[in-house]
């Protein structure tokens, strides 16, 4: 694929250069088979049988399963609520009397959200998923349920692609408190490196997230948000957790801007750092000045 300057988030995107539906004759004979448990991408799509060959021309599970696995990282970023439906309609089309393709509107909705994540990794929306290849909504196809409401995004903001803030030493506790005042949230997390399904390194949040200054975030959804931030901004994660597989503790500080999560500052949490510990203890009683 032209224009790739960094290693692909999804190896499949580098390999997909063929036409999608154009390369497969929907009129060909297919059979209904159970969606295999190894196809983790499509375990929660609401049906248990799929057609094979599928809409990508895969004739065996030996082809379809590893190719579908290469999309799991993108799906975990939460780039769009219908990304799994869109992808599984191609990899594991539901077993009905005829093939049910995704509508053009669904493709556009998923593309517009998820292509931003791909762009963060130097990748483009693959030509094989050109939305013009899919039928318009008036045909029999899987329609888009519409965009997420602004109220939903306000309560459940999403991480976005951003530059990597440097990991800093916190300094005096008063300086830390001022930093808390200048931002919307501060959370303490333990990050660890592990090997993903594709064999590449991935980063995860160990244990619970400590809400130091929750701001607009809710404790029940913040761990997922941080995981998504790590996947989207994997270059930042690589800098934070370089060589050790052991968990490393950080304080992530940032804002919610236009329903997007932006991490502005990162402190490495040292157990012996009394100033950072003191600041987190004083925060609940601290009153920010108007100039902060």
Quick one: 16 and 135 in the same domain? yes
Kindly calculate the radius of gyration of the chain based on its CA atoms and give it in whole angstroms.
Answer: 22
- The answer for residues whose C-beta is within 8 angstroms of residue 29's C-beta and 6 or more apart is none
Chosen domain end from 142, 175, 200: 142
Residue 67 counted as domain residue: yes
Last residue of a domain, one of 85, 109, 142: 142
Residues 227, 253, single domain; the answer is yes
What percentage of residues in the chain have a pLDDT greater than 70? 82
> Do 128 and 162 belong together in one domain?
no
Residue 108 lies in a domain: yes
Contact present, 127 and 89 (Cβ < 8 Å): no
Q: Which region among 52-66, 93-107, 239-253, 270-284 has the lowest average model confidence (pLDDT)? A: 239-253
In a domain, 5, yes or no: no
Give the pLDDT confidence score for residue 12 in this predicted structure.
Answer: 40
Last residue of a domain, one of 142, 172, 206: 142
Both 161 and 134 in one domain: the answer is no
Answer yes or no: do 103 and 207 share one domain: no
**Domain range enclosing 248:** 154-285
> 291 pLDDT band (50/70/90 cuts)?
low
Q: What is the CATH number of the domain that holds 56?
A: 1.10.2000.10
Q: Which of 223, 161, 212 is nearest to 185 (CA)?
A: 212
Q: Residue 135 — pLDDT band, cuts 50, 70, 90?
A: very high
pLDDT > 90: percent of the chain: 54
Q: Residues 240, 208: one domain?
A: yes
Residue 26 lies in a domain: yes
Give the tens place of pLDDT for each residue, 27-45: 556 899 999 999 999 998 8
163 and 124, same structural domain? no
Tell me: do 70 and 189 sit in the same domain. Answer: no
- Taking the alpha carbons at both ends of the chain, their separation in whole angstroms is 47
Instruction: Examine the pLDDT at 16 and tell me if it is beyond 70.
Output: no
In the chain, % helix, strand, coil (3-state, to 5) comes to 35, 20, 45
Residues 121 and 168 in one domain: no
Is 80 exceeded by the pLDDT of residue 78? Answer: yes
Looking at residue 174, which CATH number applies to its domain?
2.40.50
Number of structural domains found in the chain: 2
Q: What is the spatial distance between Cα 261 and Cα 281, in angstroms, rounded to a whole number?
A: 24
Residue 282: CB atoms within 10 Å? 14
Whether residues 36 and 98 share a domain: the answer is yes
Q: Enter the tokens of residue 181.
A: 């005042």
Q: Are residues 257 and 160 in the same domain?
A: yes
Helix (H, G, I), strand (E, B) or coil at 36: coil
Say whether pTM exceeds 0.85: no
Burial 268-279 (b: 16+ CB within 10 A, else e): ebeeebebbbeb
Residues 158 and 281 in one domain: yes
């Amino acid at each position: 694929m032209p224009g790739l300057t960094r290693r692909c988030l999804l190896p499949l995107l580098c390999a997909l250069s063929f036409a999608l539906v154009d390369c497969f004759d929907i009129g060909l004979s297919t059979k209904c088979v159970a969606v295999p448990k190894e196809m983790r991408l499509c375990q929660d799509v609401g049906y248990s049988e799929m057609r094979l060959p599928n809409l990508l021309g895969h004739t065996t599970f030996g082809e379809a399963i590893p190719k579908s696995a290469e999309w799991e990282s993108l799906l975990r970023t939460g780039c769009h609520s219908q990304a799994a439906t869109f992808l599984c309609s191609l990899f594991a089309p539901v077993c009905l009397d005829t093939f049910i393709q995704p509508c053009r509107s669904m493709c556009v909705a998923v593309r517009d959200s998820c292509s931003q994540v791909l762009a963060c990794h130097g990748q483009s929306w693959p030509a094989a998923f050109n939305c013009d290849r899919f039928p318009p909504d008036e045909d029999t196809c899987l329609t888009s349920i519409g965009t997420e409401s602004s109220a939903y995004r306000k309560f459940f903001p999403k991480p976005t692609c951003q530059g990597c803030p440097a990991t800093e030493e916190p300094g005096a506790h008063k300086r830390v408190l001022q930093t808390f005042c200048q931002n919307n949230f501060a959370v303490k997390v333990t990050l660890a490196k592990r090997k993903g399904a594709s064999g590449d390194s991935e980063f995860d949040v160990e244990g619970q997230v400590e809400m130091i200054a929750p701001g607009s975030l809710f404790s029940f959804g913040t761990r997922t948000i941080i995981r998504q931030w790590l996947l989207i901004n994997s270059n930042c994660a690589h800098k934070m957790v370089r060589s050790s597989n052991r968990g490393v503790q950080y304080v992530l500080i940032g804002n919610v801007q236009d329903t997007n999560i932006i991490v502005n500052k990162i402190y490495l949490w040292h157990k012996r750092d009394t100033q950072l510990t003191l600041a987190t203890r004083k925060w609940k009683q601290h009153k920010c000045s108007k100039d902060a």
